[in-house]
Amino acid sequence: MDIPYTVELRPDTGLYNAKVGIWLFLASEVMLFGALFSAYILLRVGAPEGYWPHGWLNVPLGTANTLVLITSSITTVLAWVSLKANQFGRFKLFHAITLLCALVFVGIKSFEYHDKFVHYEFTLKNGKFADGHMVENKLKQDGNSFTGYAVIRGHVVEDERELYDLNAHKAPAHEDIRIDGAQIAKMGNYGPWHNTYTAIYFTLTGLHALHVIGGAIVIGFLWGPGSKLWETDPERFTNRIEISGLFWHFVDLIWIFLFPVLYLL
């Protein structure tokens, strides 16, 4: 006896099996990202006054990524529509664009991540803070002390909170600053360890990016070797495109919330 309703709709539920499966899975994903969003809210509300960052992320790049994902969303649904209309060629075209968008998204994200890893904050022994992107790193670390020097393009501040809310003041002039090892009390880049904001930023966007990559792999497989199924069982193949499309839309949906929460607020 074969498993029924893999393609045919079950009369009382009006659904085929994989559609039930993917919505159940998406429900669990809502809880997963929901927990991370809850963590974000809690960490932000619990942060001391003036110590929650604003303006640390590149809004134009984030906006571009949002538009890229939205575009990939419509090409995904149009790819499915093409198959319903028996137009295999257009399906291939639309999903090729989807995959291209995924590539662009991950590319821009990688650029953003890299930017954070070359952005340093130095706590100086004189109580001031130097902050900027590394131009030249000739520092050697021995335990808690440093020798050598580094050149950063940035600025020096007295109150650390000036490094946090970048939207509150006009951007200060960035110039090349040389910092000697002997001046440094502490240093670190803007990786996840920098503060709870970078921690939740990297975790949320990192998990999201993994979902983008995973979804792209599945769609890529269906676009490539998996598309052979169109010749033998077109309805089943169309359903697979619908199911993978649902996952892709969900990934877009998460980003629709991630973008304002992390970049704009």
End-to-end C-alpha distance for the chain, whole angstroms = 56
Which residue, 151 or 253, has its beta carbon nearer to other proteins? Answer: 253
CB-CB contact of 103 with 113 (8 Å): no
Kindly state the number of chain residues that form the binding site for other proteins, as judged by CB under 8 A.
86
Stretch that binds other proteins, among 108-116, 135-143, 174-182, 233-241 (CB under 8 A): 233-241
Smallest gap, in angstroms, from Cβ of residue 151 to other proteins? 25
In whole angstroms, give the CA distance from residue 257 to residue 114: 23
4 near other proteins, judged by CB under 8 A: yes
Residue from 74, 166, 185, 213 touching other proteins (CB under 8 A): that is: 74
Smallest gap, in angstroms, from Cβ of residue 136 to other proteins? 26
Stretch that binds other proteins, among 155-163, 172-180, 213-221, 237-245 (CB under 8 A): 237-245
39 near other proteins, judged by CB under 8 A: yes
Which residue, 223 or 237, has its beta carbon nearer to other proteins? Answer: 237
Site for other proteins in 144-163 (CB under 8 A): none
Site for other proteins in 46-65 (CB under 8 A): 46-47, 51, 59, 63
Smallest gap, in angstroms, from Cβ of residue 159 to other proteins? 17
Smallest gap, in angstroms, from Cβ of residue 223 to other proteins? 19
Which residue, 9 or 217, has its beta carbon nearer to other proteins? Answer: 9
